[in-house]
Amino acid sequence: GQQLNQSPQSMFIQEGEDVSMNCTSSSIFNTWLWYKQEPGEGPVLLIALYKAGELTSNGRLTAQFGITRKDSFLNISASIPSDVGIYFCAGQPGEGSSNTGKLIFGQGTTLQVKP
Amino acid sequence: NAGVMQNPRHLVRRRGQEARLRCSPMKGHSHVYWYRQLPEEGLKFMVYLQKENIIDESGMPKERFSAEFPKEGPSILRIQQVVRGDSAAYFCASSPSGQPGGYTFGSGTRLTVV
């Protein structure tokens, strides 16, 4: 089935550093989403991307929908301790798939920030 | 405006028992999705429901698992004769339109099978 490969699996960085993570797939996706999950909670939407090439920012977060529709990246600038959590990419499958709104999730990137 | 409410937050069942997980969508949301998350993995789609209809159950195991979203009341994910491998976090999301950008996830139910 369709899969998303998310990397890196984990990151341990110093406060103030920039962070970058990405997701790739062999299949086309219509929508790319980035979520953050904290322990014991459900994922919270950070950024939604709907068009190939789209670049969207949300505060210190920036994400892009790859031009091939097979990848996306998320950047976090000037990290702070509260950025700690697990970040997931998710995509809505494209051509050949019925548009039911279901999402395919990446495996997650665990971010730890050292003050 | 309450978010997506899931209960119970934690559920412990012995092997062979039944587990019932409840999800009340946000007010005005008529689309409900269930996902399962194993430890240190991403979420896996299970089923998509609208009121009284199952739209997509392509992610549901063929046996022991069922879901419903009645005209009145919460959506229910039911697991019969639970096994240890069913231990996971189960998340519900609701949406007003069926488009993933409009999803709101609940806090999940953590099922432990002993």
**CA-based nearest distance B107→chain A, Å:** 4
Specify whether the CB–CB gap between B12 and B112 falls below 8 A.
Answer: yes
Q: What is the pLDDT, as a whole number, of residue A1?
A: 63
pLDDT tens track for A84-110: 999 999 998 876 555 678 899 999 999
pLDDT > 80? residue B1: no
Q: What is d(CA A43, CA A23) in angstroms, rounded to the nearest whole number? A: 17
Q: Residue B98 gets which letter from DSSP?
A: S
pLDDT tens track for B46-77: 999 998 999 999 999 999 999 999 999 999 99
CA distances from A50 to A58, A92, B41, B107 (A): 15, 10, 25, 26
β-pair partners for A56: A63
Interface test with A, best of B57, B99, B104 (most A CBs within 10 A): B99
A45 in B contact zone (CB under 8 Å) = yes
B33 in A contact zone (CB under 8 Å) = yes
CB contact under 8 A, B41 and A43: no
Closest-CA residue of chain A to B59:
A102
Residue type, B93: A
